[in-house]
Amino acid sequence: MLKCLIYVSVTFLFMVSCGSVAQQQYKSHSVQKGETVYSISKEYGISEETIYNLNPDAKNGLKVNSVLIIPSNSVISSGTNNNNFRQHKVKKKETLYGIAQLYNVSVDEIKKLNKDLYSRGLKKGENLLIPAKGNNSETNGSNTETTLPGTQKYTVQAKETKFGIARKFGISIAELEDLNPNLGESLKLGSVLIVPDKTVIENAEIDDENFQYYEVKPKEGFYRLKAKFGLSEEEVIALNPYAKDGLKDGMILKIPKEENTISQEDISVVNLENRIDNKKMKTVALMLPFRLTRTATDSTGNDQDWLKKDPTLRVALDFYSGALMAAEFAKDKGISVTLNVYDTEKSDSKVASIISKSEFKNVDAVIGPLLQKNVEKASAMLKDEKIPVFSPLSNREMAMNDNLFQTLPTDAVLQKKMIRFIKDHSDGKNIIIISDSKKAKQREMIQAAIPEAKTVSPRGGGYIQASDITAVASEGRESWVILESTNPVLVSSAVNVLAAMPANYKVRLFTLDRNEAYEWHEVSSTRLAKLNFTFPSVNKNISEDDRNPFLISYKNKYGVLPNRYAIRGFDVTYDVLLRLASEKDIYDAIMPESETVYIENKFRYEKSNTEGYCNEAAYILKYNDELKFEVVE
């Protein structure tokens, strides 16, 4: 007993002996064989940190029969003692944030007293030590005007969801709901939430098109995720950097959507001209915004002036000229065609009026309207009759119906094709990503597909220097640099730096999005060619010297070579007519493993994730030494 008195007095200078006061607040524990600090902490319902604080020598290991000082039950339960502890027994479905809110303390303060909570979630029935400095909300109520320690108020932005906000602040859905009891099923724009005071990722927007969001289950580790999603630990962390410290119960992870895409090797090019079988009359409705009902005042002006004022009219006329030529080509192949042309006047109400008043039951297909809201209107009105509607020029996300065909590949299609190309050919290559904050989503997509990719962030002025590249490049090993930005300053500086790299640094430049920044006057075409600049594209470019029959016929008829809208009018219309002639029903002519190729465009339709069909065919182009775009794939 004397030994105990000396040990206590040395450990606690404020205690002269194990007198009555000390004995009321603390008790001793004699260490038995096989016991650990963890097992003792569980026995008494306290944290390991508490034991180490009271017994510093325990950090060097426990010895059998050595004596530890343990808080008595009164210390743990009382809120007026020297250490100010409370004890809380965890109930089913409780979370750390809910408990912190109950006692008006921060989660970090609870974790400091219960150290093992840094690496695991709560367990039902376990006892936690709670700092007693706060006011218990069960007795004092909660103050809605203030936030808890370690939290802040957050205003919900457009397109944000509970999953996105929970992911942004590194908490589970349950913890978010604990902090906000009246949260409800969905979030309203502008509503104010209580969230942790620190974020773990940049934004809370959800990318449903390319990713799914998964809530980690209890005791779930990287091995189980690999079995479930086929993703390695490195791939999970590349998309969710905060997971590098381990998975936690309720953590929200971004996971790539499972793709049932067809491999490039399985895709074959077919010539539908050799498959013409159904030569019955084909009736196609062509809906374009000509705006022929202009006022008399409008009509008095010069037609050339009017065309200059209305770019949509110019596009419509060019597309129409190509569509007419496609009908003539189809007739030369023995296909009877009736082309009914309607002026939509750029109005969705006019589209509705045309469909309501006209006889569309015998129409085999509708091409147009050009504008997105108008083509969505036409598709919705004709879906019950299953009349296919082909959107000729919109590549944006649309309100799809089962009868809607999006003929222009979306940006997402182009991005996936480029990433797949780089990944398939990346063996032995040093992959480097240069990306600004506006292209964070694209950077994450690349990192998910190629976890070993290195990243370079632009400097403060939105540019890079040669030292940024040499720090991640390798001499003698080819570096494939993926540049993601719409900032012409960054694009220009990156192109200049990469093109000026010493010969022992082999560099090739890629992008998922060849935007207007690459057309800036400071971006040298010669340097792009030197870097074999490679990018995805909806169409390829044809040469004026090309002896294609369509080009020759068009120039003979109109006196000029067709522009890209006239060529697209031909390609879209000719493909529709040939599909109608190759099968009894155009829906039977949708061949996901077959690609049709025409003048500049190609088509391969797949069922979309929602409804309707999307064109998944696109090109990979390279800027070659002759300053021309060369088809790579």
User: What are the tokens at 242?
Assistant: 């905060």
**Cα four-point dihedral sign 145, 146, 151, 154:** positive
Altogether, the residues listed in the chain come to a count of 633
What is the rounded average pLDDT of the residues 485-510? 94
CB-CB contact of 345 with 288 (8 Å): no
pLDDT at 351 (0 to 100): 94
Partnered with residue 545 across adjacent β-strands are none
CB-CB contact of 434 with 481 (8 Å): yes
Look-up of token digits 């109608």 = 580
The type of residue at 64 is V
Burial of 389 (0-12, 13-18, 19+ CB in 10 A): buried
> What sections of 408-548 are H helices per DSSP?
411-424, 440-449, 466-470, 488-499, 525-530
DSSP state of 345: T
How many CB atoms sit inside 10 A of residue 611's CB?
A: 14
Give the span between the Cα atoms of 489 and 241, in whole angstroms: 29
Packing angle of the helix pair 549-558, 311-332 (nearest 10 deg): 120
Look-up of token digits 């953590």 = 251
CB-CB contact of 478 with 429 (8 Å): yes
**pLDDT tens sequence across 310-322:** 788 899 999 999 9
The type of residue at 575 is D
Packing angle of the helix pair 348-357, 372-382 (nearest 10 deg): 30
Give the span between the Cα atoms of 223 and 236, in whole angstroms: 11
- CA-CA-CA-CA dihedral for 217, 220, 225, 226, to nearest 10: -170
User: What are the tokens at 317?
Assistant: 């006329």
Give the span between the Cα atoms of 167 and 529, in whole angstroms: 42
pLDDT at 145 > cutoff 60: no
Give the span between the Cα atoms of 36 and 228, in whole angstroms: 36
- Best-predicted range by mean pLDDT (68-82, 255-269, 581-595, 612-626): 612-626
* Residues 6 or more apart whose Cβ sits within 8 Å of residue 162: 173, 176, 177, 183, 186, 187
Mean pLDDT of the chain: 82
Burial of 355 (0-12, 13-18, 19+ CB in 10 A): buried
- Best-predicted range by mean pLDDT (149-153, 206-210, 355-359, 606-610): 355-359
Please provide residue 174's backbone torsions phi and psi, each rounded to the nearest 5 degrees.
Answer: -60, -40
How many CB atoms sit inside 10 A of residue 379's CB?
A: 26
pLDDT at 22 > cutoff 70: no
User: What are the tokens at 64?
Assistant: 């059998």
Residue percentage of the chain with pLDDT more than 70 = 86
pLDDT at 364 > cutoff 80: yes
What is the rounded average pLDDT of the residues 172-181? 80
How many CB atoms sit inside 10 A of residue 43's CB?
A: 11
Give the span between the Cα atoms of 421 and 426, in whole angstroms: 8
Q: Where are the beta strands (DSSP E) in 97-170?
A: 127-131, 151-155
End-to-end CA distance of the chain: 85
DSSP state of 205: B
Q: How far is CA 262 from CA 104, 259, 514, 616, in A?
A: 55, 9, 25, 10
Partnered with residue 537 across adjacent β-strands are 619
* Residues 6 or more apart whose Cβ sits within 8 Å of residue 347: 374
User: Angle at CA 240, nearest 5°, toward 234 and 245?
Assistant: 75
pLDDT at 300 > cutoff 50: no
pLDDT at 140 (0 to 100): 36
Give the span between the Cα atoms of 550 and 200, in whole angstroms: 56
What is the rounded average pLDDT of the residues 290-306? 58
CB-CB contact of 1 with 23 (8 Å): no
Please provide residue 99's backbone torsions phi and psi, each rounded to the nearest 5 degrees.
Answer: -70, -40
User: What are the tokens at 135?
Assistant: 């006011």
Partnered with residue 342 across adjacent β-strands are 287
Among 270-274, 418-422, 451-455, the range scoring the smallest mean pLDDT is 451-455
pLDDT at 18 > cutoff 50: no
pLDDT at 581 (0 to 100): 94
What is the rounded average pLDDT of the residues 466-477? 90
Residue percentage of the chain with pLDDT more than 90 = 40
pLDDT at 366 (0 to 100): 96
